[in-house]
Amino acid sequence: METEKLRLAGNNEAVHKYIELNSDAILNSIADGVVVIGLNHEILFINRAAREIFGKVGLKDFSRGGKCSGMIGHTSCAFDCVINRTIKTGEHLYNYEVTLGRGDSKVTLSINTALLKDEDGKIIGGLEIFRDTSLIKELRDEIKGKYSFENIIGKNYRMHEVYELLKEVAPTRATVLIEGETGTGKELIANAIHHNSPRCAGPFVKVNCAALSEGILESELFGHVKGAFTGAIADKPGRFELADNGTIFLDEVGDITPHTQVKLLRVLQEGEFERVGGTKTIKVDVRVVTATNKDLKALVEKGEFREDLYYRLKVVPVRLPALRERKDDIPLLVKYFIGKFNREMGRETGTEVRHVSPSAMELLMEYGYPGNIRELEHIIEHAFVRCQGNTINPSTCRRDLPCQGLVDKVMSTDEPMKALEREVISSP
């Protein structure tokens, strides 16, 4: 036992000599926490940032003698000490995330570990470098919560079918084609797929294919090299490179030209491409989610869209129903948008919009919504701005809503035209 103590003491002295060769002042000036631990789990050095993270700023000297479990105070120290794991296995950990208790609160750390060896290559201790990522985790959890499937509003059976499909497809790397009319929430669904997938920590890159001409779109997707065309004054990475290890969302994919379709097909098949004007092959690991408001199958039959690309994109098709097909969700959506605008606009007068009158809700339920959910959002925003009290009523709604409701009645009932004309004349 005495021999073992002497051996450990010798190891610790070797560590201290190692530390002396590396300025403590430098280690204490960096923002990351640094802890050096001996083979007997004693803390041999801890810098100022680490003390602040662990809430031990008041301790004058914690450089020698204290056990790391006493400093960190986490239950996992006894059975899953990351530095001990590195010392035993030689495996260095990178960006290992752990949440520790700190008084009444918690702190999330991103940890890197390494071995310390003497001149003969003998292991004499371990090094742990970490940073407080609590805010990053909080923001990440907030974003994930925002795009959780439970937060996609809708009780309609068609939307339930969509939820179940998304839960199945999100954890995979399968290509998804989201089909639906303009304003049905295709981008929200794409976000939900990404943020509920194993790639959620990676980038989510959006491209609106309809907003860019062919030459610009190709450069945006695949990048270009200096001198590839007039104005290409420097190398530029494309969106696929930026989305590496993440997800790329190609909105309005039906507007891609045949030339760009060929390059997109190659990326899907081989995971590689060249920048515009370049010869170097670039490999990427990207999940592709696409969306369209067009009938791609009809475009294939017309020869305007490649059939092989169509089937590559449509591994998992997700069809979003139009709002007129899920009108029972309108009250839920109205409630959501009222809450959103209350938060965003603040209602400086101190009066918030709380209710929608029955007559106004009837008006909203009758409307056809050619612009779908996006149009409903704009209608509520319009009513919100005009509302002087805490209740939205027909007088604060857009004036074209009553007329549209009456047109719907013509299409769906046998009501005599004269009676309908009287209703139009008497409408405000």
Reported confidence tier of residue 415, pLDDT bands at 50, 70, 90: very low
* 9 and 111 part of one domain: yes
Whether 197 maps to a domain, the answer reads: yes
**Last-in-domain residue among 274, 290, 321:** 321
For residues 240-252, give the mean pLDDT: 96
* 157 and 285 part of one domain: yes
**Last-in-domain residue among 69, 102, 133:** 133
**Confidence (pLDDT) at 202:** 92
pLDDT at 18 over 70: no
* 196 and 292 part of one domain: yes
The CATH number given to whatever domain includes residue 356 is 1.10.8.60
* 28 and 158 part of one domain: no
The type of residue at 403 is C
**Confidence (pLDDT) at 286:** 96
Nearest-CA neighbor of 317 among 301, 297, 334, 300?
A: 297
- Residues 177 and 264: their CA atoms lie apart, in Å, by 14
- Residues 11 and 122: their CA atoms lie apart, in Å, by 10
pLDDT digits over 224-233, tens only?
A: 998 888 888 8
pLDDT digits over 263-297, tens only?
A: 999 999 999 999 999 999 999 999 999 999 999 99
Give whole-number Cα distances, 148 to 79, 133, 191, 231, 419, in Å: 33, 22, 9, 42, 48
Give whole-number Cα distances, 285 to 269, 272, 273, in Å: 11, 9, 12
Highest mean pLDDT, choosing among 40-49, 156-165, 317-326: 317-326
Give the DSSP H/E element, type plus range, for residue 101: strand 96-102
Highest mean pLDDT, choosing among 37-46, 230-239, 301-310: 301-310
For residues 135-145, give the mean pLDDT: 59
Share of the chain above pLDDT 70, in %: 75
Whether 365 maps to a domain, the answer reads: yes
Whether 141 maps to a domain, the answer reads: no
* 223 and 304 part of one domain: yes
For residues 18-46, give the mean pLDDT: 75
Reported confidence tier of residue 307, pLDDT bands at 50, 70, 90: very high
The CATH number given to whatever domain includes residue 35 is 3.30.450.20
- Residues 119 and 395: their CA atoms lie apart, in Å, by 84
Question: How many domains are there within the chain?
Answer: 3
**Last-in-domain residue among 292, 321, 350:** 321
Whether 142 maps to a domain, the answer reads: no
Whether 175 maps to a domain, the answer reads: yes
pLDDT digits over 327-340, tens only?
A: 999 999 999 899 88
**Confidence (pLDDT) at 303:** 94
Mean pLDDT, all residues of the chain: 81
* 309 and 380 part of one domain: no
The CATH number given to whatever domain includes residue 296 is 3.40.50.300
Whether 140 maps to a domain, the answer reads: no
pLDDT at 404 over 50: no
**Confidence (pLDDT) at 155:** 85
Nearest-CA neighbor of 356 among 385, 403, 397?
A: 397
For residues 245-261, give the mean pLDDT: 95
* 26 and 127 part of one domain: yes
* 82 and 225 part of one domain: no
* 156 and 266 part of one domain: yes
Reported confidence tier of residue 101, pLDDT bands at 50, 70, 90: low
* 275 and 160 part of one domain: yes
First to last CA, the chain: 96
Three-state secondary structure readout of 146-205: HCCHHHCCCCCHHHHHHHHHHHHHCCCCCCEEEECCCCCCHHHHHHHHHHCCCCCCCCEE
* 359 and 277 part of one domain: no
pLDDT at 240 over 90: yes
pTM over 0.75? The answer is no
Highest mean pLDDT, choosing among 39-48, 74-83, 114-123, 306-315: 306-315
Whether 50 maps to a domain, the answer reads: yes
Q: Which structural domain, as residue segments, surrounds residue 53?
A: 2-133
Whether 139 maps to a domain, the answer reads: no
* 178 and 36 part of one domain: no
